[in-house]
Structure 1
Amino acid sequence: MIVEIVKHTPLWVFVLFVFLIILGLQQSKQRTVKKFLLLPLPIGMAFLSYYGVFSSFGLSPVSSGLWLFALVSVTYFSGKYFPAKGVEFSTETGYINIPGSWVPLLLMMAIFFSKYLVAVLSTLQPSIVLSAGFMIFCTLLYGAFSGVFVARAMSMWGKKQNHIVKKI
């Protein structure tokens, strides 16, 4: 059964998987970036997770609202209680030094495999995907994953802002 599922998986899904692995491995290493390079990853992952909501459950106020609620809630609580550590801003270069972390790779894989599982279930067991409980669970999960990405980026961006405020 697993072999049949993989055989019927479109090629672009494998390309996306490899791309996410490479991106996640890059995030695991210490790097120095311009502040604007903090934005593409959380924006991209939020888009991917919302696409999962939209493609699986349609564009409804309920699914969109639940996704947004989870994203905002997790962004707030994750940013407040689990800020990015070890991030340093250099006033000389204008770059942000970010220690490596495996968290982005884990989150990317969680979003990817969640979306993949929902796609497989929608083909094999569509009644499960159509249930309200499943929709609520998935949309909250997708939003929560995105919220962690957004919180990490905001926390890192905040290191730069805090440095500027302290300097003044």
Structure 2
Amino acid sequence: MKKHDVFLLQGSNKGNKKKYLDESLILMSNELGKVVQLSSYFESEAWNMKNYSIFYNRALHLKTDFSPIDLLKKIWDIEFFIGRKKNSSRKEYQNREIDIDILFYDRIIIYSFILKIPHPLLHLRRFVLEPMCEISPNKNHPIFNLTILEILGLCIDKLYVKKISE
């Protein structure tokens, strides 16, 4: 069975952020597939949120057997297990224990109501691009045909993003 190359972004801005990132990483390793690469922790301002705490983010490269939709469902299970409660009636971003986004899945492009790959906002978000650059700067975006490093160079997001040493 073919292993698929998937890039994910973890984020947390509630409670013990590192603990939530680490717990979800263990669950992803056990449930989703083999973690091939893992970025450092990055601290960042929240993107397009009011009344927020600083976020911790981390990017990872994973090899998985799951289809994109099955992967998404497994990710939702992990988020729920860690403590994330999704409020479907609210449209704005909310503080969260854990958020796991699918950034890339092989080189496929999916644009459906439930799932969009590559992540449709990744090119606008420095907090995604910096950790991705650390683990895969030459990863090619299948729509823009630019590398992550090139996209970071073009990114106009000026929000605070800083690598955390630990």
TM range (shorter): under 0.3
Q: TM-score, normalised by structure 2?
A: 0.24
Q: TM-score, normalised by structure 1?
A: 0.24
- Structure with greater proportional strand content: 2
- Structure with greater proportional helix content: 1
Determine which structure has more spread, i.e. the larger CA radius of gyration: 1
